[in-house]
A and B are shown apart, each in its own frame.
Chain A
Amino acid sequence: MTDFEVDDEVVTVAGLRKSYGDRVVVDGLDLAVRTGEIVGLIGANGAGKTTTVECIQGLRRPDAGTLRVFGMDPMTQGVRVRRLLGSQLQDASLPDRLRVAEAVDLFDEARFGDGADLLEEFGLAARRRSPFAALSGGERQRLFLVLALLNRPRLVILDELTQGLDPAGRRDVWAAVQRLRRSGRSVLLVTHELQEAQVLCDRVIVMGAGRVLDVGTPTELVARHGGHITIRFSLPDSNPAPSSLDQVQGVHEVIVDRATITINGDRECIVHVGAALAAQGLFPADLTVDSPDLEQAVLRMLVDAEPVAGDLVVTTC
């Protein structure tokens, strides 16, 4: 991670609040997206992610709070802001009979002439004359990504980017997003795919009930909320149970069930347990380590924050 100065901030949101009738959807939210970073916005359904993004895009007027995109107010300077934004939306579509090349021409506001290259890059060059209705789900998502990138935006907002893509297509799109970062562009990634967030994001913002529950790198969030790692191995009956494992640094609990030994502890205990076993001449071939991942960390955060966390649709890739 790079240390960024304040003026590196592409998006700054402070105290954002938005209600629909009596229902508060975003409740005093703060967040920042800096130049050249990929920020993930994740949370349960109804957590306020889409409303937050729509406020950033200038599509919804906040009830309160400060919101700046490239230093501009998206509500009063929406046209200028949207020229710097590229948006791929989860629930938007194109006319069924609009052909791929026609869509590129329609959305090519800046006329940089990148359309053909982008279609090639995203594997759609052969589909130039295909109507939108004839594209597969993955092709549609890739077309939306092409359209989002046409005008060389400085901030790209991607909402459920890889929904409907097969594993190979997902990897291709992930690689494209990583190229965006390398080109210095910022990405705000709204996703339910926690593996995607773990792989792509420099920072992850976890939202619950309209508020930010925590912000950090995926590693930091896993360390703070993921819970213990679990080491399991077994020893032949002839081997004596290893002694004093519960005294090893970072170990919280040792469970011996006949020949199977389970150890729960901090991440750092993996090395120390390994060293302790080796010191006793024990080299179990079936040793496994279960490490918590972002999915477990986020689920735990949401469960701790509110009882409706089960709404989160977690998809493992």
Chain B
Amino acid sequence: MLSGATGRLVRTELTLMKREPVTLTFVFAFPVITMLIIGGSFGTEPDIAFDGINPSHWYVASYLTVVIAATGLIMVPVHLASYRERGVLRRFALAGFPRWSFAIAQFVTGSVAVAASSLLLLAVAAPVYGIPTPTGWLPLLAALAFGTVAFVSIGVLLGMTLPSARAAQAVGLLLFFPSFLLGAGGPPPHVMGSTLRGIAHVLPLTWLTDAVRGPWLGLGTASGSLALTAVTALAASLAALRRSRV
């Protein structure tokens, strides 16, 4: 367990997370509501457009990555940039909190948000669409772990770089929605045109979603996508820690 200044900061951030409307909206409400709508739009029969998978199950699996992306691209950067803009980080630094402790606190808070929202999403999905049993637990859990590290680190990087909460929100939304529509929660790749598919293939959220869907829905291990997600996690976390140093 974290102790001392960093522990106090993490506990405080977890408390504040529950009171933050952006978090409650984008990380908890948005994925659940859109999963319910999209998941019910294509029926529950296996469909060739969805690699022969039940479309509802396809979207249940996909929307766990939407939770991760919303946390990393919207919640974390807006929160952190707001702190920087208003001098909260400066006040914390003067009170003896190491600057890196904010990055740690954001990482822990982001991970808890992802876990809590994922559980909520699965709890809602289970009685409505059912939850498919994963065929490869290890690669699935690895993908979720790498994805969380990657996107929360990207969030820390954005929050430590962008000048204001408004800028962070604008950039975050601009990154989130195309990624969401092309890489996770939108139409399946088979119905997209070649240009959109080409764009989707270079999005980190597409890599993560492929790495999650593959072992979950029996579509293969998606080791290439998992490797890309792992590399993104490593690069983003190093960059975030470097940006968070005093």
B25 adjacent to chain A (CB < 8 Å): no
Q: Is A230 an interface residue (CB 8 A)?
A: no
Contacts of B94 in A (CB 8 A): 57, 59, 82, 85, 87, 89, 92
How far is the CB of B112 from the nearest CB of chain A, in Å? 17
- Residues on the A chain within 8 Å of B12, using CB: 98, 102, 105-106
B contact residues around A57 at 8 Å (CB): 94
Cα(A91)–Cα(B20), bound, Å: 23
Contact present for A109 and B96 (CB under 8 Å): yes
Name the one of A59, A82, A85, A105 contacting B90, with C-beta atoms under 8 angstroms. Answer: A59
Question: Is A95 in contact with B91, judged by CB distance below 8 angstroms?
Answer: no
Minimal beta-carbon separation of B190 from chain A (angstroms):
44
Q: With contacts A79-B96, A106-B8 known, is A97 near B19, CB below 8 A?
A: yes
B15 near A82: Cβ-Cβ < 8 Å: no
B83 contact set on A, CB distance < 8 A: 95
The 21 sampled A-B contact pairs (Cβ below 8 Å) are A59-B90, A59-B93, A79-B96, A82-B96, A83-B96, A85-B94, A87-B95, A89-B87, A89-B94, A91-B87, A92-B86, A92-B90, A92-B94, A93-B87, A95-B16, A95-B83, A95-B88, A97-B16, A97-B19, A105-B8, A106-B12
Which chain B residues lie closer than 8 Å to A59 at the CB level? 90, 93-94
CA distance A98 to B20 in the complex (A): 11
Q: Across the interface, which residues of B come within 8 angstroms of A98, CB to CB?
A: 12, 16
Q: How far is the CA of A5 from the CA of B37 in the complex (A)?
A: 76
- Nearest residue (CB) in A for B88 is A93
Interface flag for A94 (CB, 8 Å): yes
Partner of B9, one of A89, A91, A106, A147: A106
Binding site for A on B (CB under 8 A): 5, 8-9, 12, 15-16, 19-20, 83, 86-88, 90-91, 93-96
Q: B9 to chain A: which residues have CB within 8 Å?
A: 106
Note all chain B residues with C-beta closer than 8 A to A109: 5, 95-96
Chain B residues closer than 8 Å to A102, beta-carbon distance:
12, 15
Residue of B nearest to A78 (CB): B246
Complex: A91 Cα to B91 Cα, angstroms? 9
Give Cα distance in the complex from A94 to B15, angstroms: 14
Question: Is A122 located at the chain interface by the 8 A CB criterion?
Answer: no
Is there an interface contact between B95 and A147, defined as CB atoms closer than 8 Å?
yes
| Complex Cα spacing A41 to B16, Å | 36
Closest to A83 in B: B96
Q: What residue in chain A is nearest B94 (Cβ atoms)?
A: A87
Question: Does A233 lie at the interface of the complex (its beta carbon under 8 Å from any beta carbon of B)?
Answer: no
Smallest CB separation, A129 vs chain B (Å): 13
Interface centre among B8, B87, B95 (most CB of A within 10 A): B95
Q: Which residues on the A side are within 8 Å of B19 (C-beta)?
A: 97
Closest-by-CB residue of B relative to A87 is B94
A109 to B90, CA, bound (A): 16
Docked pose: A107 CA to B88 CA in angstroms: 12
Inter-chain contact B96/A94, CB cutoff 8 Å: no
Nearest B residue to A105, CB-CB: B8
Q: Name the B residues within 8 Å of A83 (CB-CB).
A: 96
